[in-house]
Amino acid sequence: MRFGVHVAIAGGLPRAIERARELGCDAMQIFSRSPRSLRTRALNEAEAADFRTMARLSSISPIVVHIPYLINLASPKEQIYEVSISALREDIARACQLGADYLVIHPGSHVGSGVEAGMERIIKAINVVFKDRECRDRNREGGLKLLLETVSGAGTEIGYTFEQLKGIIENLEGEGEVGVCFDTCHVFAAGYDIRTPDGLNEVLEDFDRVLGLDRLKLVHANDSLGDLGSRKDRHAHIGEGMIGEDGFRAILNNERLREMPFILETPNDDPGDDARNLARLRELAGCLPTSPVGCSAK
């Protein structure tokens, strides 16, 4: 099993690799630019090359890039929609330049225009980017896969049911290049009860029936401050939310999830929070270190 955290890029992208190594990460996630703006400088190739080299030497894998939250591929506002499409195209290019394995995106929010209309805009946006030959070729050559993240359903979010994700993916021209990121907090808040082995198995069977487990590539490991079906996107430390220690023990020991990389997006308010949550994940998974990275079941 491989565990990691979302790492800050302050001080430069290569510094993120150093932070991940200091934490003992086997996997990692970053923003490739500031998440608070859709405008950014071009990625310096020397910096990107240093990042790729450090990632290779560190044996950290997978390398995951998360798209900025300001992007909304379902927006009915034309200006925001066009800027979001451009940002997706740019973030794919940046992720490929960094040698990332996955680019995670939230599908989008329909902002009152309706789920169906929002889904149509998401599909159109991704297809527009995938039709860009340069972007498409860069994606394939770099081995990058686009991952749609399960969301909590807060506000007008799209993607809080497996059926909604299927409706998007099956209409993409490059659907073979698209997978799913399973966020434990979001799935639970959306109404899927993953707190017990039986409940989790039912949810995964539903996922397999609707989407196919072969599309599941990554787990965002987050406890939930909101209760089951609350539709609240509020992350908690592992074992300290409504999913709880027993819930994460079930998740981490499920045979269908044992090969998944787990990335933490838990609160990081105090020094040591990330290390503490990483240690808790490994403890609940019942892992023993077998090498400088990774672990196997006891």
Spans of all domains in the chain: 2-297
Look at residue 35 in the predicted model and tell me its pLDDT: 83
Look at residue 287 in the predicted model and tell me its pLDDT: 84
Look at residue 149 in the predicted model and tell me its pLDDT: 98
Active-site residues, by number, are 36, 66, 69, 106, 149, 183, 186, 220, 233, 235, 265
Reported as a single tens digit per residue, the pLDDT across 124-164 is 999 999 987 555 555 455 589 999 999 999 999 999 999 99
Sign of CA dihedral 140, 43, 98, 159: negative
Main-chain dihedrals φ then ψ at residue 182, nearest 5 degrees: -100, 105
Reported as a single tens digit per residue, the pLDDT across 251-277 is 999 999 999 999 999 999 998 999 999
Which regions in the chain score pLDDT beneath 70? 133-142, 288-298
Q: What's the CATH fold of domain 2-297?
A: TIM Barrel (3.20.20)
Look at residue 292 in the predicted model and tell me its pLDDT: 45
Look at residue 37 in the predicted model and tell me its pLDDT: 77
Look at residue 134 in the predicted model and tell me its pLDDT: 55
